[in-house]
Amino acid sequence: MNFIHNYISFPLLSVLIFIYNYLSFHDLGIAIIVLTLVVRIILLPFFYKSAKNQTILQKLQPQIKEIQKIHKDDRAKQGMAMMELYKKHQVNPFSSLLLILIQIPIFIALFDLFSNQIKNFHFSSTYFLGLVDLTQKNIAVVLIAALFQYLQMKAMMQLQTKNQSKNSENNLEQFNKIMLFVGPFLTVLIFMNLPSAISLYWLTFSVFSFIQQIFINKRISQSIS
The residue that leads in pLDDT, 217 or 20, is 20
Compute how many other C-beta atoms are within 10 angstroms of the C-beta atom of residue 36. 21
The pLDDT of residue 3 is above 90:
no
Most confident of 55-64, 66-75, 165-174: 66-75
SS (H, E, C) 128-184: ECCCEECCCCCHHHHHHHHHHHHHHHHHHHHHHHHCCCCCCCCHHHHHHHHHHHHHH
Q: Residue 187: pLDDT above 80?
A: yes
pLDDT tops 70 at residue 171:
no
Q: Is the pLDDT of residue 139 over 90?
A: yes
Whether the pLDDT of residue 22 is over 60: the answer is yes
Share above pLDDT 70 across residues of the chain, in percent, rounded to a whole number: 89
Render 3-33 in DSSP notation, one character per residue.
Answer: HHIIIIIHHHHHHHHHHHHHTSTT-HHHHHH
Q: How many CB atoms lie within 10 A of CB 194?
A: 17
Percent of the chain with pLDDT over 90: 17
Q: Is the pLDDT of residue 181 over 60?
A: yes
Structural domain boundaries in the chain: 2-224
Report the run of H or E that residue 127 belongs to, with start and end: strand 127-128
Per the rule left: phi > 0, alpha: psi between -120 and 50, beta: everything else, 130 is left
Q: What is the mean pLDDT of residues 202-213?
A: 85
pLDDT digits (tens, 9 = 90+) for 89-112: 888 877 778 778 888 888 888 888
**Half-sphere exposure at residue 69, Cβ-oriented, CA atoms within 13 angstroms:** 6
Are 129 and 47 spatial neighbours (Cβ–Cβ below 8 Å)? no
Q: Which residue has the higher pLDDT, 13 or 121?
A: 13
Q: Is 165's pLDDT higher than 60? A: no
Residue 192, class by beta-carbon neighbours within 10 Å (0-12 exposed, 13-18 middle, 19+ buried)? Answer: middle
pLDDT band at residue 222 under the 50/70/90 scheme: low
Give residue-wise pLDDT tens across range 24-66. 999 999 999 999 999 888 888 888 888 778 777 777 878 888 8
Interior angle at CA 20, CA 16 and CA 26, nearest 5: 155
Can you give the pLDDT at residue 157?
76
Mean pLDDT over 111-121 rounds to 76
Residue-level pLDDT at 167? 47
Q: What mean pLDDT is reported for the chain? A: 82
